Structure 1
Amino acid sequence: MHIPHTHRRFSAFALCELFLVFVTLSATLLAGCGSSTSSDANAKLTYWHLWPDKFYGGIQNNLVKTFNQTKPGFTVTPQAQGDTSKFLASVSAGNPPDVYMVPSGPIQLAVQGALMPLDNYIKNSKVIKQSDFWPGTWSACTYKGHVYCIPYVFDSFALFWNKDLFKAAGLDPNKPPTTWSDLETYSKKLTKYDNKGNISQLGFAPWIGSTSAAEWPMWADGGQMWDYQSGQPTMTQPGNVAGLQWEVNWAKEFGGYDKLQRFNSSFSGNTSFLGQKVAMWVGESYYLSSLQQYEPNLNFGVASFGIPRPDASHPYINGSVDGNMLAIPTGSKHPDQAWKFIEWNATTGVHSWVTQEGDSSARKADINVQPTVLKEPYRSDYSIFAKLLSGPNVYYDQGSPVDLYYASQRDTEFDLARRGKVTPQQALQTLQTDVQGQLKKALAHFHG
């Protein structure tokens, strides 16, 4: 689960500026990595998590309260702060939190020198074992043989649809689309326009409403944006070009990208579905708790997002793009105590989080956990997401040393292609070239 209803984006300028700061500091920070161990039994630790709201943030704050009450010896103070740029600035200033919940890009943060390697802690731990986590989640925390974070929650994706809108459009409300052709046919029937030709209700668009699965058309088309074994970008693969071309064609089919974006700007985040303006979209498990809270009368369905292309090498992708991880920042004043809190929060804590919030744990042992916060039928739908994490068609984003830069540039180039300013091939070639250049710079200063 990422930050609910919010996606943090970083400009290339800001990312490069922060990168340059860490070029000058990385050697010093890494040289002192793990050396500031504190044995102070009365230590006061700061923990940055991601959720400022009363529901999600309140649950995380209560978990910390439980830890403080049941694990005496030191105190953890939670603070909602998920902005990666602010985190990097705190490390640069020598005043980071003791524990940081990473929203995205842990490998880039590690390469920049902002995260401590946890290898020795893991080696001596009786609580944290690599085999206890889904392989893809552990890989997302690992780079060049070192582990820099512990997986917390990871999200699979499924298709949500509004059954009432299906019925009104003459579609069977209990039969979601099962092919890309079906998806387009359904979308045309479910899209409405006002008297000025503007979209008033949208059936579906690959990039609208989708929470984190920005690349699912590429996965479903047999493409892959990164070769994680070699650590190199592979953006110009035919499957990636075909996937982006499909998005470009989709935009043309529904009046052009600008028209779709004007519709998209009329609401924010997940309110697209809550407001019944979008009939179908790709969502994560935690959205079930949002529906239960804010739209309890909504008549919806959830299904495995099996929308394959006929020529794909696999039937479909239900992917976990990435998740949230727990890390010890470089410069933490209490790394030993921070590790003890991570051990608890990544096991007992995340189990309780799933129960109360409805997210998907990165731990295999939690696969059958049923969130008590969810009522029927939400709880039954949740089991769909949990099963997908262990399925054969899940794709895990294992991360790269330039993840945050890559995400920003990817969105820019994808938008240019959808607007018709460049071809998909040109967009992906530019992305490949830019990312390779940034990757070379990042690795030149990596001392791991």
Structure 2
Amino acid sequence: MARARGDGLTRGRCEMRNISFSRRRVLVQGAMVATGVGAAALLGACGATPTPQVIEKEVTKIVEGTPQVVKETVIVEKQSTVEVVKEVTVQVQASAPAVTTIEWWPGWPEAAMVAIAKRFEEKNPDIKVNVVSNYPEMQAVLAAVAAGKPPDILADVPYMELIARGVILPLDERINTSTEVSLTDGDIRKELWEVFAWQGKHYGIPSVDTAGREGMGFNLNVIGEAGLDANNLPTTWEDVFEWHQKITKYDSAGNLSIIGMAVMAERTPACSYGDPWMWPHMWGFKYIENNKYSIDRPETVEFLNVIKQFADSVGVEKLDGLSQAMQGISRGAFGIGKQGMQITYPSGPAGVWQSNPTQKYKFTYVPVPASRKGKKIQTAGGHAGMIMKDSKNPDPSFKLAVYLTQKEACDILFEAIGWIGVRKSWQAQVDMSRYPSDVAENIMFFQKSLDEADEVWYNNDPIESITETEWGKAYQGVMYGKMTAKEAAATMEANLTKELQKVLGTSG
């Protein structure tokens, strides 16, 4: 009877404590009662609460694909002779980072741009760059836009023309929140930012070939052989023409053997693709302002007549023959010691040194008319990373555009082409030891001149490629005697005004 009361008390206390039994524990207790130890076991179960033991157990978890050993505390409760272990299993799914592919149309030089893309991918494994090597001609870009398949980022295009058509993404918000580029810290010159600005917004990250756009090059060997003083270089067009006449020589058959200056070679015909129309700058005026052209004016007539003067002095037929003979030669006659003077690009100093290393060259400011003698002028331009408005990947594209301003990308282009990087901080540390000191000085002239010139010009021409076409018609018409300089200036302004009205949808 005592045992019966004890059993009842034990059962009642257990019910009050609300202990639940697992199926396994009930079976174990049944076995214990059958062997004569059940009462003692039950009394023990309803006695003082046992002290839990704390055991540290090692659990291996996979986090982001990397095995890690994590110590997990496991509570083990001892109830009678039965252990109930509470374990937690954590499973972490290992996954590779998502990769975004962006399409880049960088233009020239293809090999260097491919190398930049590869280095960028190494630093950004979540971004793949598809470099499209075909040259990004204006019509190809517009066709891609019309088809709904534009590139994500591009360069080496008629920048303002695409911006004005509304197909380029403004970047001010991204620039202003970036910790890597700034409109105001001066590391990238203000003028270079403004080259790619339109109606108060900025559309490009200046990056590639952004030194001053032109310099007057002199072959010191050629001018020395002509008896001219290399320490007193001409600075006006009037003086340059005199030197041109003294340098120019003919062979016994009357063909040009050395020319003083082929005035419309290399830089001087350009008006687009990062190289603004420079002739108005030399004469001290802006040819377009507030979307209005100012070309039909005395200064334009004057520089068109300067061009004709040079052409007439040797004959356009001989100039054509020289041009054809020099096709495929870097910098033409100037690059192989057959021309005394030429207005060239920032890549000119490295280019002529590579093609003609035995002769010496000097690069300085372009000439101006006698009425502006003493003025040192330069033009801002070059190339920028621009993101298409319909890009599906604007953020990784912006990252690539910024990368083009940074040391690794600048080093690649400097090694390949001799282009100076856009940042002043890069320019301060660039290693020029691969070049002779005079070549290094010539290369740096194009960059320093942006800071030291009296005037730095840039154009915001919304139909710049059409301007280049009309400029070609104008100067060639004058050179070949098909129209006067006055007629050419008037025709050029009239045609451009009509074309601009079509693009902007205005009537004047």
TM-score bracket, shorter-length normalisation: 0.7 to 0.9
Using a 3 Å threshold, how does the CA distance of structure 1 residues 99 and 209 change in structure 2: closer, same or farther?
Answer: closer
Aligned-residue offset at 1:323:
0.9
Name the structure where strand makes up a greater proportion of residues: 2
Task: Say which structure, 1 or 2, has more relative contact order (CA 8 Å, 6+ apart).
Answer: 1
Using a 3 Å threshold, how does the CA distance of structure 1 residues 316 and 380 change in structure 2: closer, same or farther?
Answer: closer
Partner of 2:281: 219
Partner of 2:341: 280
Aligned-residue offset at 1:314:
6.2
Question: What letter corresponds to residue 415 of structure 1 in structure 2?
Answer: Q
Which residue of the other structure, out of 39, 60, 68, is the alignment partner of 2:121?
Answer: 68
Partner of 1:363: 423
Q: Distance in 2 between matches of 1:349 and 1:144?
A: 33
Using a 3 Å threshold, how does the CA distance of structure 1 residues 349 and 107 change in structure 2: closer, same or farther?
Answer: farther
Deviations along 1:387-431, whole A, 9 cap, x unmatched? 101123343333221111111111111110122211112111111
Alignment of 1:425-436 (within 5 A): 425-436=486-497
Q: Does the aligned pair in 1 maintain the 2:99–2:125 contact within 8 Å?
A: no
Using a 3 Å threshold, how does the CA distance of structure 1 residues 147 and 218 change in structure 2: closer, same or farther?
Answer: closer
What are the ranges of 5 or more consecutive residues in structure 1 without an aligned counterpart? 1-39
Question: What letter corresponds to residue 143 of structure 2 in structure 1?
Answer: A
For the residue of structure 2 that corresponds to 1:200, the secondary structure is: strand
Q: Distance in 1 between matches of 2:431 and 2:134?
A: 25
Q: Distance in 1 between matches of 2:339 and 2:364?
A: 18
Which residue of the other structure, out of 424, 438, 441, is the alignment partner of 2:499?
Answer: 438
Question: What letter corresponds to residue 289 of structure 1 in structure 2?
Answer: A
Partner of 2:294: 234
Q: Distance in 1 between matches of 2:402 and 2:124?
A: 12
Work out the percentage of aligned pairs sharing the same amino acid.
22
Q: Distance in 2 between matches of 1:314 and 1:174?
A: 16
Deviations along 1:75-109, whole A, 9 cap, x unmatched? 113232323222222222222222112x2421111
Partner of 2:449: 388
For the residue of structure 2 that corresponds to 1:130, the secondary structure is: coil
Q: Distance in 2 between matches of 1:409 and 1:422?
A: 14
Q: Distance in 1 between matches of 2:195 and 2:387?
A: 16
Aligned-residue offset at 1:217:
4.2
Aligned-residue offset at 1:280:
1.0
TM norm structure 1: 0.81
Using a 3 Å threshold, how does the CA distance of structure 1 residues 293 and 306 change in structure 2: closer, same or farther?
Answer: closer
Using a 3 Å threshold, how does the CA distance of structure 1 residues 258 and 399 change in structure 2: closer, same or farther?
Answer: farther
Which residue of the other structure, out of 132, 152, 161, is the alignment partner of 1:108?
Answer: 161
Deviations along 1:179-227, whole A, 9 cap, x unmatched? 3333122211211123343323211132124366665443222333222
Question: What letter corresponds to residue 286 of structure 1 in structure 2?
Answer: S
For the residue of structure 1 that corresponds to 2:406, the secondary structure is: helix
Aligned length: 396
Question: What letter corresponds to residue 380 of structure 1 in structure 2?
Answer: E
Using a 3 Å threshold, how does the CA distance of structure 1 residues 311 and 173 change in structure 2: closer, same or farther?
Answer: closer
| RMSD across aligned positions (CA) | 2.5
Question: What letter corresponds to residue 312 of structure 2 in structure 1?
Answer: K
Using a 3 Å threshold, how does the CA distance of structure 1 residues 371 and 210 change in structure 2: closer, same or farther?
Answer: farther
Question: What letter corresponds to residue 383 of structure 1 in structure 2?
Answer: M
For the residue of structure 2 that corresponds to 1:346, the secondary structure is: coil
Q: Does the aligned pair in 2 maintain the 1:220–1:314 contact within 8 Å?
A: no
For the residue of structure 2 that corresponds to 1:302, the secondary structure is: strand
Using a 3 Å threshold, how does the CA distance of structure 1 residues 272 and 94 change in structure 2: closer, same or farther?
Answer: farther
Partner of 1:328: 387
Q: Does the aligned pair in 1 maintain the 2:349–2:363 contact within 8 Å?
A: no
Question: What letter corresponds to residue 332 of structure 1 in structure 2?
Answer: S
For the residue of structure 2 that corresponds to 1:45, the secondary structure is: strand
Larger radius of gyration: 2
For the residue of structure 2 that corresponds to 1:46, the secondary structure is: strand
What are the ranges of 5 or more consecutive residues in structure 2 without an aligned counterpart? 1-96, 272-276
Q: Does the aligned pair in 2 maintain the 1:316–1:393 contact within 8 Å?
A: yes
Alignment of 1:229-268 (within 5 A): 230-255=290-315, 257-268=316-327
Which residue of the other structure, out of 192, 196, 220, is the alignment partner of 1:137?
Answer: 192
Question: What letter corresponds to residue 87 of structure 1 in structure 2?
Answer: V
Q: Does the aligned pair in 2 maintain the 1:49–1:80 contact within 8 Å?
A: yes
For the residue of structure 1 that corresponds to 2:181, the secondary structure is: coil
Q: Distance in 2 between matches of 1:235 and 1:318?
A: 20
Using a 3 Å threshold, how does the CA distance of structure 1 residues 374 and 82 change in structure 2: closer, same or farther?
Answer: farther
